[in-house]
Amino acid sequence: MLVRSFFAPADLKKIMVETPKGLRLHIGLFGKRNAGKSSLINALTNQKISIVSEVAGTTTDPVEKACELAPIGPVVFIDTAGVDDVGALGLARVERTRAVLEWVDIALVVANARDFDECESDLVEHLRKLGTPAVLVINKSDLHPADEAFMTRMRAYGIPVVLTDAETKAGIADLRKAIIDLAANRIPKDRALVGDLVQAGDTVVLVTPIDTGAPKGRLILPQVQAIRELLDAHAKCLVVQQDRVAESIAELRHPPKLVMADSQVIMDVAAQTPEDIPLTTFSIQMAYSKADVIEMARGTAALASLEDGDRVLICETCSHHPQKDDIGRIKIPRWLRQKTGKDLQIEVAVGKDFPVDLTPYKVLIQCGGCVVTRRHMLMRLRAAHAQNVPMTNYGLTISYLQGVLERVLLCHPEALKAYRDALTK
């Protein structure tokens, strides 16, 4: 089951008609305090969406601003605290800024010609190591002109360099073009959630239970995304609850090409779905779309070797209000203990905070990540792999605990093989 996001009623219409943040290009601005990052966001968007002040350190935490950037479309600008902040609180802000640096799609390193130093050099070098597309923005160019020698040094970094002045909007068109070029040429296209598994005319049964955790008046994001992709593919979708699966399949003239279910009801749905009809879950498809389903299937095998005292970290990327039978905090821990019979130490990390040191944990169980980008999910998977800590996700975990994992992985044969191979090691 995927983590559900909850919103105030006043926000409901806006959320249902706008592109979710997890499907938007994320553009982060990084640099020293008072480099003009907030002013640049306002200039790029032609809106006053960031607070601007001459007082250094106005932005204290990463602030996300969802907007449209033509011709790219829906994006999120992330305004960050200065990397030169000082003091105990300032250093904590710097750490939050550097955390954002790990997962943005495009980074704008904002500096000026007067005091460019190792702060900006370190940012550029770190982005190079991460493989993050970046632009070096030499801002306040009217106040601090850049001579040719300085520009030669900047071009040596090997990334686009743009001279701007946010106050007069000089160079903003050039910066916008540099961002557009990176988005077109350096950003991989999103993977489909379900569209890769169907063709025009196919019928897909979507099983979406309406329980106490379902958002009032709407479906959760992956369900909406699946419906949209099926419509885009000119396929047909039949949306039912889990008590109507067998009946719905029987009423179809031809068997469905695929049954896609909420993970929490997968065992019930599997019992109603003939073996010759492919079966998967929304969360497993999220592992394919947002991360690496092969690597996560491999990580699922670690659940079979849990022992008393092992620490398990459940990672949620949103900060929804816990429900009385919450999937991450209640159900998965309960099912894990029942399946393994072990005394496990289960912890939960919420939101975009992700532990730097993962080595204390035997396995990480990640939510579907519907509110974050694919790059964000891959960052987490990369960190886990680097520290040799297996990572799986909610859908793979629940399918394993319910005894149907091998069946639902038939849609992803390489992932099934990775899981089987990991079990035998």
Fold annotation for 19-184 = Rossmann fold (3.40.50)
Residue 232 has pLDDT above 60, yes or no: yes
Residue 11 has pLDDT above 50, yes or no: no
The secondary element (H helix, E strand) that includes residue 68 is strand 63-69
pLDDT digits (tens, 9 = 90+) for 360-374: 999 999 999 988 999
- Helix axis angle for 293-300 and 282-290, nearest 10°, is 120
Q: Looking at the whole model, is its pTM more than 0.95?
A: no
pLDDT recorded at residue 193: 95
pLDDT digits (tens, 9 = 90+) for 379-423: 999 999 999 999 999 999 999 999 999 999 999 999 999 999 999
Give the mean model confidence (pLDDT) for residues 224-243: 95
Strands 279-281 and 391-393 come out as unpaired
Question: Which 8-state DSSP code applies to residue 25?
Answer: E
Fold annotation for 291-422 = Rossmann fold (3.40.50)
Residue 15 has pLDDT above 70, yes or no: no
Return d(Cα 114, Cα 279) in angstroms, integer: 60
Question: Which 8-state DSSP code applies to residue 136?
Answer: E
Give the mean model confidence (pLDDT) for residues 207-214: 77
Largest CA-CA distance found in the chain, in angstroms, rounded: 75
Beta bridge partners of 22: none
Return d(Cα 203, Cα 318) in angstroms, integer: 32
What residues does each domain of the chain span? Answer: 19-184, 201-281, 291-422
- The amino acid occupying position 286 is M
Helices (H), 156-239: 172-185, 221-232
pLDDT digits (tens, 9 = 90+) for 314-363: 999 876 666 777 899 999 999 999 999 999 999 999 887 789 999 999 99
Same CATH fold assignment for domains 19-184 and 201-281? yes
Residue 5 has pLDDT above 90, yes or no: no
**Percent of the chain topping pLDDT 70:** 90
Return d(Cα 407, Cα 416) in angstroms, integer: 9
Residue 16 has pLDDT above 90, yes or no: no
pLDDT recorded at residue 316: 92
CATH number belonging to domain 201-281: 3.40.50.11420
Give 3-state DSSP helix, strand, coil % of the chain, rounded to 5: 45, 15, 40
DSSP string across 329-383? IIIHHHHHHHHH----EEEEEETT---S--TT-SEEEE---TTS-HHHHHHHHHH
Return d(Cα 364, Cα 362) in angstroms, integer: 7
Q: Please tell me whether residue 393 adopts helix, strand or coil conformation.
A: strand
Residue 22 has pLDDT above 90, yes or no: no
Question: Which 8-state DSSP code applies to residue 170?
Answer: B
pLDDT recorded at residue 21: 83
Q: How far apart are the first and last CA of the chain?
A: 28
pLDDT digits (tens, 9 = 90+) for 251-288: 999 999 999 999 999 999 999 999 999 999 999 999 99
pLDDT digits (tens, 9 = 90+) for 31-82: 999 899 999 999 998 876 554 545 444 445 688 888 888 889 999 999 999 9
Residue 17 has pLDDT above 70, yes or no: no
